[in-house]
A and B are shown apart, each in its own frame.
Chain A
Amino acid sequence: MDNPNGIMIKARGLTKDFGEVRAVDSVDFEVRKGEAFGLLGPNGAGKSTTMRMIASVSRRTGGELSILGLDPNEHGPDIRGHLGVVPQQDNLDVEIRVRDNLVVYGRYFGLPMKFLGPKADELIEFVQLTEKAKAKVDTLSGGMKRRLTIARALINEPDILLLDEPTTGLDPQARHILWDRLFRLKEAGVTLVITTHYMDEAEQLCDRLIVMDKGKIMAEGTPARLIREYSSREVVELRFGSDRNAVLAGQLAGFGDRIEVLPDRILIYTDTGEEDLARIVERGLRPLTSLVRRSSLEDVFLRLTGRSLIE
């Protein structure tokens, strides 16, 4: 079912209403074969709804959507046979054991046992759960459960892997293990679609992404291009204490290209971070803490919407 021109997913004017609420508002995008495509945005941006439409379990209200050249409204089960889904909240089968989770899930696709046995073992090894193969699911840590969910999503050797907030709620070490596994999948040529509200995740994993807010696409491009286009090279972060940030912001006028005042800190967008910081201190302004860092997608989002990604 491979598309000759390599377009795996194509959305035109894709729209979804829940009653009065428009969750996804006429979005256009394409995902090409072998690409890692990201949907970045805060909670409630419409990412998960978009994801569920791609997963062919949610019917669109309007527009066009084609997955592997098929219309999900007509060919839901056929399309789902080619997808692997990692939902936002784990829905592993806690009543059966780790390895059985993979085998049983494979049966849902109609795969034969003689295929599923070796495949399950291979995937268990890939997600580094070999020692836990016979364990009960509720004995796994959060990171292990996520990895098992990913293994489960790979049981049918999908053409597209959908990951909804794959590392939300995991500790930093577990996130890095997971990212490493996803990288390997990408190298193996699996098309990935990832939603996230973590910029570092989007920067690390995605070849190309769309920034969503309130159901609309705000910007599209590679992470590097988005940062170049919507932010400066560096950012100076200053904290003066919660009641003084707003007051002191006035005295910082003239520094950098742009200044953002947040409740807990002030951000100065500039290409010359260290120099600016030195000059601020020379002026006698004494921030409690200060930091110069590279611009990130967080800054892109702030610029596009005036709001933080994580609220």
Chain B
Amino acid sequence: MMRRIYAGRPHTVVLRALYALKTSAWFVVVSGFFEPVFYLLAFGLGLGTLVGEVTGPLGRPVSYAAFLAPALLATSAMNGAIYDSTWNVFFKMRFARLYEGMIATSLGTLDIALGEILYALLRGLVYALAFLAVMVALGLVPSAWGILAVPASLLIAFGFSACGMALTSYMTTFQQMDWINFFMLPMFLFSATFYPITVYPEYIRWIIQAFPLWHGIELIRGLTLGQFDGSILRHVLYFAAMIAVGLAATTRRLTNLFMK
């Protein structure tokens, strides 16, 4: 079974993406870095003067900017991963017929899925490092644990990519793709991004805690603020599960789609 779907060459799919990057304008790639920085400046610093301090993960007060910044890092990891694994993959699958060409070689479907995700992670790594540098420069990373926010944001991106690709493989029209946004926006707005979820009644908190972005934000916030306990493992496990389920579903689905 494994031989049918995996030729051990996902790196060739990454290579292809790097060639594609060569032809795209550099400023498009660079501009991706600015979005979270603008949010940080506007909300963290601008709005921060109105908000004052908020309660951190372990109940200690932290400045609003230090509270918000890790949430933006997690969100940008999610957004990058979702964009790459949904819109990009959808285009390549339905319009460019790219995977059809790949599958005609000795590549398997798992090579393709893994390769696309690896490339998305590579890009995510660059953005995460840049954003973390901005955070450090603004004095928003009081703890040395903060450096672990980089692998953590890769973990988040991996989880979202794997599941995003699985979802995309079921989509057939652009209109359906729009619905992904209807799912992303509330997650972005309500997952303890802008303020602690303690403002909500208990049952809403339970709902929020079921969604992945909340786990991602709590994970990174705990690390950059250096305020975490053993429960942080739960967040890691949540994403490990997303990765496993997403990869299995994607591979299965690609195999059905292109090898029917």
Task: Point out residues on A near B: beta carbons under 8 Å.
Answer: 18, 55, 57-59, 76-78, 80-81, 83, 85, 87, 89-97, 100, 103-105, 107-110, 136, 152, 156
Q: Which of B89-116 contact A (CB under 8 A)?
A: 96-98, 100-108
On whether the beta carbons of B23 and A57 are closer than 8 Å, the reply is no
Given A95-B23, A100-B19, are A77 and B7 also a contact pair (CB < 8 Å)? yes
How many angstroms between the C-alpha atoms of A83 and B23 in the bound complex? 29
**B198 at interface (Cβ–Cβ under 8 A)?**
no
For A80, list chain B residues within 8 Å (CB): 104-106
**B253 at interface (Cβ–Cβ under 8 A)?**
no
On whether the beta carbons of A92 and B101 are closer than 8 Å, the reply is yes
Given A76-B4, A77-B7, are A109 and B106 also a contact pair (CB < 8 Å)? yes
Number of interface residues, chain B, beta carbon within 8 A: 28
- Residue among B13, B16, B22 facing the most chain A CB atoms (10 A cut-off): B16
Contact sample, A vs B, 12 pairs, CB 8 Å cutoff: A55-B104, A93-B16, A93-B20, A93-B98, A96-B16, A96-B22, A97-B19, A97-B23, A107-B15, A107-B16, A108-B102, A156-B105
Question: CB < 8 Å: which of B7, B98, B259 contacts A57?
Answer: B259
Which 10 A/B pairs are nearest by Cβ-Cβ distance?
A91-B97, A95-B20, A108-B105, A85-B104, A107-B12, A81-B106, A91-B101, A77-B106, A96-B19, A104-B16
**B231 at interface (Cβ–Cβ under 8 A)?**
no
On whether the beta carbons of A96 and B4 are closer than 8 Å, the reply is no
For A156, list chain B residues within 8 Å (CB): 105
For B7, list chain A residues within 8 Å (CB): 77, 110
* Secondary structure dominating the interface of B: helix
On whether the beta carbons of B16 and A91 are closer than 8 Å, the reply is no
**B60 at interface (Cβ–Cβ under 8 A)?**
no
For A100, list chain B residues within 8 Å (CB): 19, 22
Question: CB < 8 Å: which of B20, B24, B106, B259 contacts A58?
Answer: B259
Please name the residue on chain A nearest to B96 by beta carbon: A94
Question: CB < 8 Å: which of A77, A87, A104 contacts B12?
Answer: A104
On whether the beta carbons of B19 and A104 are closer than 8 Å, the reply is yes
For A93, list chain B residues within 8 Å (CB): 16, 20, 96, 98, 101
**B9 at interface (Cβ–Cβ under 8 A)?**
yes
Given A80-B106, A93-B98, A96-B16, are A108 and B4 also a contact pair (CB < 8 Å)? no
For A18, list chain B residues within 8 Å (CB): 260
On whether the beta carbons of A77 and B3 are closer than 8 Å, the reply is yes
What is the CB-to-nearest-CB distance from B60 to chain A, in angstroms, rounded to a whole number?
A: 48
